[in-house]
Structure 1
Amino acid sequence: MKIEPLLKYINKYVSLTHEETDFLVSKVIYRKYLKGQYLVQQGDVCKFSCFVISGCTKTFYMDEEGQEHIMMFSIEDWWTSDMSSYINQTPADFNIQFLENTELIMFPYDVIEDVYQHIPKLERFFRQIIEKAFIASQKRIVRNLSMTAKDRYVYFRDQYPQIEQRIPQYMVASYLGITKEFLSKIKSQLLTED
């Protein structure tokens, strides 16, 4: 199992013993997905919280008109899940689709409590990860409310250059809450300013 990237990531927060590592390896699932497949779709229950080993995902909401609203992307060393669905085991609000062939380490819902019981420090680890995600989500809401579309794009481009190079521009526009035509105008403006 290609678990080394996950262990390296966990070790930034907590140190695992050999026994704890072995137990964790026995509980998680390594899986490959193909571009275009889904981890979860709206209305289904999300059974996994996932660490991305390689690849790229998008988390999005599809409204009643069939319009896609991208909430987030996940790449290597990031996490992906519909957390509300995963934690509460209720129908998912979001779709998670693979934008590239992707490798994941998956934490099944039905073993996570067992993992916490055997390795209590992982509960602290996941609390810290969820706190960081919550803060990032709040900051994104503030940016969306207070920044112009141009400033939001510049922020996205500067913060996540490795994502922008891997996804179509219409997805960047959806993430920013603008049309792809408006994004093209913004990029043209920025080119003339440089």
Structure 2
Amino acid sequence: MFDLFFKKLEDRISLTDAEKELIKSHLIPKKLRRRQYLLQEGEVCKYAAFVTKGALRAYTVDEKDNEHIVQFALEGWMISDLYSFITGEPATYTIDALEDSELILMSQASRQELMQQIPSFLQFSYFQIQNAYIALQRRITDLISLSTEEKYTKLIKTYPHIVERVPQHMIASYLGLTPETLSRTRKQMAKNK
């Protein structure tokens, strides 16, 4: 279960066997059934989750009961309510499993301890936060500047596995569209091919 986690980690940093064992001692394996929550809005996000199997989503629900998906996570990806995880404030997102999933969890206290004990883990954590910020900035720019067709095309090219595994109404939510708008866009794109 830890193989994929350590492969991703070692793609970025070098670790000794002792460092791997120390990191492993801080990891918590967790299984979620489809539709089971990892985090609910209002709770404090105590863990960052690395997906080893399955698919999850992070979303918020507005006052009209509409879901707004902000992130998907498939195998090899991390997911959390980063603001809540870092600050200890209540989460604004709910995270649940779209498929039966297997995760590796790490608490903020464990993350802090590992960053102090393993200098390269500090480097890895910095890299993770930096990439999360870059992805967020790109996502915001895309949402406000791309056309509906451009948003969908970019999603297909960048994350083809999401489109294969996630229902279209959730993809529409992620893109800031109604399911009907996404359906019309897909039909128009198919017609134009």
TM interval, shorter chain, is: over 0.9
Aligned counterparts, 1:26-175, within 5 A = 26-175=25-174
For residues 122 and 102 of structure 2, the distance between their equivalents in structure 1, rounded to whole angstroms, comes to: 24
Q: How far apart, CA to CA, are the structure 1 residues paired with 2:82 and 2:13? A: 22
Deviant stretches of 4+, over 3 Å:
none
User: SS in structure 2 opposite 1:165?
Assistant: helix
1:15-46 deviations in Å (ceiling 9; x for gaps):
11000001111111111111101111110000
TM-aligned CA deviation for residue 159 of structure 1: 1.1
How many percent of aligned residue pairs carry the same amino acid?
Answer: 36
The Cα shift of 1:89 comes to 0.8
Question: Offset of 1:136 from its aligned partner?
Answer: 1.0
Task: Return the TM-score normalized by structure 1.
Answer: 0.97
- Number of residue pairs the alignment of both structures matches: 193
The amino acid that maps onto 2:156 is R
Deviation at 1:157? 1.3
Segments of structure 1 that go 5 or more residues without pairing to the other structure are none
How far apart are 1:109 and its partner, in Å? 2.0
* Secondary structure class of the residue paired with 2:165: coil
How far is 1:146 from its partner? 1.0
Q: How much does 1:75 deviate?
A: 0.3
CA distance in 2, matches of 1:81, 1:138: 17
**1:36 aligned counterpart, secondary structure:** coil
Matching of residue 24 in structure 1 with residue 23 in structure 2: yes
Letter aligned with residue 129 of structure 1: Q
User: How far 1:160 moved relative to its partner?
Assistant: 1.0
Hey, what's the Cα distance between the residues in 2 that align with 1:110 and 1:17?
22
Q: CA RMSD in A?
A: 0.8
Listed one character per residue, the Cα deviations across residues 153-174 of structure 1 (whole Å, up to 9, x for unaligned) are: 1111111110111111100000
User: Cα deviation per residue 1:90-136 (whole Å; 9 max; x = unaligned)?
Assistant: 10010111000111111112322221122121111011011111111
Q: Hey, what does 1:192 align to over in structure 2?
A: 191
Partner in structure 2 of residue 179 of structure 1: 178
